[in-house]
Amino acid sequence: MRIDELFASGATHSFEFFPPKSDEESVKLARTLDELEPLRPSFVSVTYRGGRESRQRTFDLVTQIQRGGRLTAMAHLICVGHSRAEMRDILKNYLDAGVVNVMALGGDIPDDASLVASEFNHAIDLVRLAREVGDFSIGVAAHPQGHPRSVDLASDRRYLAQKLELADFAVTQFFFELEEWTRLVGELAELGSTKPVLPGIMPVTTLSGIERMATMGARVPEVLVRRLETAYERGGPPAVRAEGIKAAIELGGQLLEARAPGLHFYTLNQSTATREIHRALFSQP
């Protein structure tokens, strides 16, 4: 299935994974996929951090999922560190493998010194190339709080609207308040962009996660920080986890009520918290 067509059928629910680096991680991910597959996700996506080894792991996992025939897969691509010819070959290989859903990202500078100098400046350049290569369903990244490298929020929104003129949909970085998504969508609409913006969900289940989330580009609001700290005082780490999942369920419910196109769960290759949140929101057994 093409992801851009899935949105026409109602709210989607999707899961994101990262490719394993070891046999142990492979076993863990296989177990997670087995546990989440019964939830019948609309699609699953696989990240790519850059570098030849990571790129191959992403390709192998995406094509393995796609060949299985039970799940629709989306491959993440980053343009940093690639030539146009190299990226054209990557896109053609995905088409040959039957993968038509891709996420076009700028990406961080990879550590792999063997990579050639990038011939792309921004993710929109990768979107343009994908359009040239084939009939892909293309997603791009959106940051409710603004991309960490953006000069200001206004320019961030303008660049995102430009990407969405060529892409089919956006998937957001995780965030924690409904107003962050509604503001993003409203500001894009003012710029003439009405493509689907799929909100990303990831619960804060530890106090240490508060700082980690901020370094990943999504500050945890003070009201949620206080909730988690109060939970810790009441019952330690288990109470923090329960409160974080409760907050994620509340946010997901608010987003669905606000008619978000769906929910995208950042799983960190684990199923337990995702299944709890999904069960509460979608009434799955």
CATH number of the domain residue 207 falls in: 3.20.20.220
Q: Is 229 exposed, middle or buried (0-12, 13-18, 19+ CB in 10 A)?
A: middle
Look at residue 285 in the predicted model and tell me its pLDDT: 46
What's the confidence (pLDDT) of residue 110? 55
* Interval 161-216: pLDDT, tens: 999 999 999 999 999 999 999 999 999 999 999 999 999 999 999 999 999 998 88
Helix axis angle for 222-257 and 208-215, nearest 10°, is 70
Between residues 111 and 193, the one the model is more confident about: 193
5-53: pLDDT as tens digits: 999 888 999 999 988 888 888 889 889 999 999 999 999 999 986 667 7
Question: According to the model, what pLDDT value does residue 79 have?
Answer: 82
Please report, as a single letter, which amino acid is at residue 93: N
pLDDT tens, 249-275? 999 999 999 999 999 999 999 999 999
pLDDT (0 to 100) of residue 255: 98
* Residue 263: per-residue pLDDT: 98
Q: Which residues touch 22 (CB under 8 Å, ≥6 apart)?
A: none
- Can you give the pLDDT at residue 108? 64
Q: How far apart are CA 41 and CA 168, in angstroms?
A: 19
Question: Among 106-115, 120-129, 194-203, 244-253, which stretch is predicted with the lowest mean pLDDT?
Answer: 106-115
Number of separate domains in the chain: 1
CA distances for 259 relative to 78, 181, 187, 197, 275, angstroms: 30, 11, 16, 11, 21
- Are 148 and 217 in contact by the 8 Å Cβ rule? The answer is yes
Give the range of the structural domain holding residue 210, as residue numbers without chain letter: 3-282
The residues annotated as belonging to the active site are: 16
Residue percentage of the chain with pLDDT more than 70? 94
Mean pLDDT confidence for 59-78: 90
Whole-number pLDDT of residue 153: 93
CA angle, 252 as apex, 192 and 226 as ends, to 5°? 110
Mean pLDDT over each residue of the chain, to the nearest integer: 91
